[in-house]
A = this chain, B = another copy of it.
Amino acid sequence: MTITDWTQRFHGTSHLPDAVRARLRAAARIVKFRNGAQVFGPDNVPDSLMFLYEGRIRVSQSSDTGREIVLYRVEAGESCVLTTACMLAEEAYNAEGIAETDVTAIVLPKLAFDRLAAEEDAFRDFVFQAYSRRLIDLLRVVDDVAFGRIDVRLAERLLALADAANEVQATHQQLASELGTAREVVSRVLHDFQKRELVSQSRGKITLTDTTALQALAHST
């Protein structure tokens, strides 16, 4: 994938014009992370703005009691606004970004970012839109956690994480961290799903055997 591809890939209706892409390419610096590496976190505050070129980043927040919840995922073509937020806000917070695949990111020094934001409407819109999308994502997380049933949320997440063969490669602990709950809870719900023949399990893997029923469950209030 070229940078040109990337700049065309960002989510939204508008596309960055050639001139902006060229300027972005000129100012950008490429950084790579291995699968599993921490891209940013409380002890690793980047001083520049990051755009994801290739791969996927999982952004999660952890409690001081060891529990964890996934906030959202950054896909190729999206920007990682939390790094910006992190930069601007002095307050500490305990969110971190973990590379879920090998990751290539574009780092834009703050100065170059400012210039682009000032001079290119399309770029500025892109960044504002990125912020907006993350806000909406977080609203959804709040809604789920505050008001959602755990079985519904697990069904949703299983469907979202399943591969083409309807299999989810994840331990119960990892699924618990997706939802911000405890492993035992996931085990119990999955056991129930199994009895209802919605899924079958083996160590570290869930097979969705009745996606229709799971979808019905996921979409029930």
- Tell me whether A197 is interfacial, beta carbon within 8 Å: no
- Tell me whether A21 is interfacial, beta carbon within 8 Å: no
In this complex, how many residues of chain A approach chain B with their Cβ under 8 Å: the count is: 43
Contact A136 B180 (CB under 8 A): no
Closest to A71 in B: B142
Contact B95 A139 (CB under 8 A): yes
Among B64, B119, B131, contact of A131 (Cβ-Cβ < 8 Å): B131
- Where chain A touches its partner, the secondary structure class is helix
In angstroms, Cα B137 to Cα A93, docked, is 10
Contact A119 B118 (CB under 8 A): yes
Contact B84 A128 (CB under 8 A): yes
A residues apposed to B, CB below 8 Å: 61, 63-65, 67, 69, 71, 81-82, 84-85, 87-89, 91, 93-95, 114, 117-119, 121, 124, 128-129, 131-136, 138-143, 145-147, 180, 221
